[in-house]
């Protein structure tokens, strides 16, 4: 029988699996943070604040700075939202952040 000690490759694979699991956990936790889902859209007074607000949110994976590539007006879950497409300038992970203009929703 082969010895049970992990080869370097197997150890690396195990490390990758750990890293993937950590990333999944971080992404799941991020969904509980403001701005990461339509239901948790961050209230802003004006569309001009979207970029500044998006940049103030750190990358959930690595806490790097997010770069705003684009933002658009969309209707999601019955609410008019601004959706910012952002990418992390450190790890490159892309994501969408959600903002609501004009204070509290009326409906």
**Least Å from the CB of residue 91 to Zn ion:** 3
C-alpha separations of 3 from 6, 7, 12, 76, 85 in Å? 8, 10, 17, 55, 49
**Which residue, 57 or 81, is less far from Zn ion as judged by CB?**
57
Interaction with Zn ion in 25-84: which residues (CB under 5 A)? 59, 61-62, 64
Considering only 28-36, 39-47, 76-84, 89-97, which stretch makes contact with Zn ion by CB under 5 A?
89-97
Binding to Zn ion by residue 86, rule CB under 5 A?
A: no
**Which residue, 34 or 64, is less far from Zn ion as judged by CB?**
64
HEC sequence for 15-74: HHHHHHHHHHHHHHHHCCCCCCCHHHCEEECCHHHHHHHHHCCECCCCCCEEEEEEEEEE
- The residues binding Zn ion (CB under 5 A) are 59, 61-62, 64, 88, 90-91
């Amino acid at each position: 029988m082969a010895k049970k000690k992990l080869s370097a490759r197997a150890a690396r694979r195990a490390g990758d699996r750990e890293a993937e699991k950590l990333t999944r956990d971080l992404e799941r936790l991020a969904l509980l943070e403001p701005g990461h889902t339509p239901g948790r859209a961050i209230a802003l007074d004006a569309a001009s604040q979207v970029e500044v607000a998006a940049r103030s949110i750190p990358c959930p994976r690595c806490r790097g700075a997010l770069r705003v590539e684009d933002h658009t007006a969309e209707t999601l879950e019955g609410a008019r939202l601004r959706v910012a497409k952002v990418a992390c300038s450190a790890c490159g992970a892309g994501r969408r952040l959600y903002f609501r203009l004009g204070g509290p929703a009326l409906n």
